[in-house]
Amino acid sequence: MSIFSPDLEKGGCLREVVDVLHFCYPNGKSVFHKTIYSDETIQNEPVYQDVYEGNDYVPCLDYIDRFSHWPIFPDGFLCNHGKISYEMIFSKSFQETFHGSMCIDCLPLAVLNGHIETMFIPLLAARDMDEVDSSRVIKNYEWWGMVKTAIKEGIESSLDPKVNAKVCVETNERGDLDGNGKHIFYITLKIYGHEDVGDIFWPYNDSEYDRPGQLFGLDDGGWFDDRWRGYCYQLKVGTPVSITTRLELRYKQTK
């Protein structure tokens, strides 16, 4: 069977062929912020269109929520149901492999669970390797495309079956131009709901008066908060919870 056959079984996982170099929010801010707002994880003056500044490329993507201003914590996020923890989002079997409390920094571990055929070698990496079987070498963009698919699979397989979520992965197509084996991926978890909780979304309002609702679920309420809470529950006004992170990977030299 040709190694390029689509019927070839995946013979390994990402942890065998890549190293995690850095994990953060798209604008470089740490995922360990006590509180950060959704739009602050994206905005880096300006990122409303594709920008390329040095080695930092931020793609302009429709599925990234650039405008919601609701709190995200290392261990969870706020939505119309109050605070949701990542323990509710990731499966029990995955949590058993993660030592420590369940936080957003568990995402790279989920990524590394993704399956990939490890016999393939990116072209630029092969140039620095001795005695490489040329039949194993493929173009760089093809290899990183396989990684992109594996990232998505790794995260999807780590989510709790009760969660209704979509995993979106975008690669930094302008990366690895100098053959250093590095690549940046933007990973978005778009969470629609949970069987035990119901629909999950960011409440929003076109008026200037939506700011009092931003700590909804944590504050003492009041007449405005109560009205806003009811409005959101009844009409389901808002957008799905959308959390985007940035992951930098490097090809791990293998033979």
Predicted confidence band of residue 215 (pLDDT cuts 50, 70, 90): very low
Please state, rounded to an integer, the average pLDDT across all residues of the chain: 76
Q: Are 91 and 154 in contact (CB under 8 A)?
A: no
Whole-number Å distance between alpha carbons of 92 and 158: 9
Beta strands in the chain (DSSP E): 18-24, 36-37, 51-53, 56-58, 71-73, 76-79, 82-85, 121-122, 137-138, 163-171, 182-194, 198-199, 201-203, 238-251
Q: Where are the domains of the chain?
A: 14-251
pLDDT, tens only, 74-109: 999 988 788 899 999 999 999 988 777 899 999 999
Q: What is the pairing mode between strands 137-138 and 121-122?
A: parallel
Q: Are 12 and 115 in contact (CB under 8 A)?
A: yes
Q: Are 38 and 242 in contact (CB under 8 A)?
A: yes
Q: Best-predicted range by mean pLDDT among 107-111, 194-198, 209-213, 220-224?
A: 107-111
pLDDT at 51 > cutoff 50: no
Q: What DSSP element (H or E) covers 174?
A: none
pLDDT, tens only, 243-254: 999 999 999 876
4-8, 26-30, 59-63, 240-244: lowest mean pLDDT where?
Answer: 4-8
Q: Best-predicted range by mean pLDDT among 1-5, 94-98, 168-172, 228-232?
A: 94-98
